[in-house]
Structure 1
Amino acid sequence: MGQLDNELLQELLDVSEKEFTPKQAKIVQAAIEIFSEKGFSAASTSEIAKRAGVAEGTIFRHYKTKKDLLISIVLPVISKFAVPFLAEQFLNEIFDEEEYEEMDQFLRKLIHNRYEFVRKNTALLKILLQEMFYHTEIQETFKEIYVEKIAPKYRNLMKQFLTKDQLESIPIETIFRLTISTVLGFLLTRFIIVPNYDWDDEKEIEYTIQFIRNGIKGLS
C-alpha cells in the first residue's frame, strides 16, 4: 500500500536541486509512502523515521519541519511530472505527434496516456490530491500548467472536431471541463478510490470515450 518503486524514487531525487545522501533518500521514500497512506496531518516524523530506519532526530537535521519535508517532495514532483511532463512531454505525445481524424481517436490516446501516468505515480499523486487544497504554491503551479499550456492546445483541437461534426454551438470551455472531469473521475476511481475492484480497463476506457462523445453530441 502506497509503496514507491526505486526507479520512481530515483527520478524524484534526480530533479532535486541538492544532492541526496543515501540516508536522505530513505527518509524521502518513507515520507512519500506514509504521506500517501495517511495524509500529511496524520503522518508523524517518528513513523517516517521508523520506516526509513533512522533516528527521528536525523529527519530534523535535514528538514526543519514536517512541512519542509512535504514541500521538498511535492515541489520537485510538480517540477518533474507536472511542468515538463504534462506541459512538454504530454503536449508532444498527445497533441503534436499525430493528426486525429476523429474525436474517439484523440480521447483514446489521451486516456491511455494518463492511465499509464497515474498507474506509475499513484503514491505521489495521492499526496498532491491531499495537499493541493492547502498549499497555494501547488494550486498556482497547476493553474499555470493548465491555463497557459494544456488548455490552448485542447481548444484548438476541439474546434476542429466540432466544425467537422457541425457542433460549433457548444462552448469549448464546457467541453474542456466535461472531458477533463470525466477522465479524472475514471482515473481517480480506478487507482485511488477502489483500486482493488476487478476492473476491465479496456472496457472502462471505451465506456468513458462513449460517455464523453455522446454527452457532447447530446448538448447540441
Structure 2
Amino acid sequence: MKRNKPKYKQIIDAAVEVIAENGYHASQVSKIAKKAGVADGTIYLYFKNKEDILVSVFREKMGEFIEKIREEITKKESAEDKLYSLIEIHFKQLSLNHQLAIVTQLELRQSNKDLRMKINNSLKGYLAIIDQILKEGIEEGLFHPQINIKLLRQMIFGTVDEVVTNWVMKDQKYDLVKQAKDVHYYILNGLKSTDDKKGS
C-alpha cells in the first residue's frame, strides 16, 4: 500500500513545509519533490497531481489527529473531560507544528469548492468523535436531552477551528494550548452568568 511506504510520508511532510512557506498556488510539484529529496516523476507514483497532494496532507494529518484524540479520550470517564481532551489535543497538535497550522488554517481555505469537499470528507471521523461525546453528555445528564447534536457539533468544531486560525494570523505570538481551558469552559457554560445572586 502506497501510504505505508517511506517516500509517501517524505512527500507529505515536504508538502507541508513547501506549502506553508510558499502558499499552495506557488508550490510547484518540483519544489515539493526537491524538498522531499525525490525525483519529480516519483511524486506521480504516489499522487495524481498537486491537488491530490493537498487532500492527502489533510487526510493523513487529520487521521493522526483522530487517532491521538481517540487514544486520549478512552482514558477519560466523563463527557466533560473527553471534550476538554479533544480541544486540548487539537491545540497541542497544531502548536507543535506551525507549518501544518498554516496549511490547515490558511491554505486550505483558499482552495476551490471541489477540493474543499474532498477535504471535508476527511473531517467525518473527527466530527463523529464530537457527536459521541455529545451523546455521552446527554446520557450523563451533562447536556440537555433536546440539544441539536448536528448544530452543536458544528459550533464546537467551528469554535476550535477559529481559535487556531486567529493564533496563526497573529503569528503564533501566544500560547495556543493555554486557550483550551477557556474554550472548554465557554462551550460548556456559554455566556450566562452562574451568579445566583445576580438580579435578586
TM range (shorter): 0.5 to 0.7
Q: 1:195 to 1:157 in 2, by over 3 A?
A: farther
CA shift, 1:82, in A, is: 2.4
Percent identity reads: 21
Deviations 1:13-51 (A, max 9, x none): x97344539xx94x6654431212332212245655676
Give the number of equivalent residue pairs: 187
In 1: Cα distance, 2:181 partner to 2:97 partner: 23
**Aligned with 2:63 (options 83, 107, 110):** 83
- Separation in 2, partners of 1:108, 1:197: 23
2:134–2:149 Cα contact (<8 Å) kept = yes
- Show the counterpart of 1:153: 132
Does 2:119 match 1:141? no
1:185 is aligned to 162
TM-score norm. by structure 2 comes to 0.68
Gaps of 5+ in 2: 194-200
Shift of 1:116: 1.5
Corresponding letter in the other structure for 1:114: H
Native 8 Å contact 2:58 2:122 kept in 1: no
The 8 Å contact of residues 15 and 76 in structure 1, kept in 2 or not, is answered as no
Partner SS state of residue 97, structure 1: coil
TM normalised by structure 1 equals: 0.63
How has the CA–CA distance of structure 1 residues 32 and 67 changed in structure 2, closer, same or farther, with 3 Å as cutoff? farther
Relative distance call for 1:62 and 1:116 in structure 2 (3 A) is same
For residues 105-138 of structure 1, the C-alpha deviation after alignment (integer angstroms, 9 at most, x for no partner) is 3443222211221123442343345237432432
Aligned CA-pair RMSD: 3.8
1:205 and 2:177 correspond: no
Pair 40,156 (structure 1): closer, same or farther in 2 beyond 3 Å: same
Tell me what 1:33 maps to: 17
> Match of 1:42, as an amino acid?
A
- Note the C-alpha offset of 1:92: 3.3
Give the structure 2 partner of residue 16 of structure 1.
Answer: 3
The Cα offsets for residues 174-214 of structure 1, whole Å up to 9 and x where unpaired, read as 33222222222222222x22134244853x33322232222
Residue 49 to residue 179, structure 1, CA distance change in 2 (3 Å): closer
Q: Are residues 1:118 and 2:105 paired? A: no
Indicate conservation of the 8 Å contact 2:33/2:43, yes or no.
no
C-alpha separation between the residues in 1 aligned to 2:91 and 2:139?
25
Change (3 A) 1:164 1:125: closer
Whether contact under 8 Å (1:107, 1:209) holds in the other structure is: yes
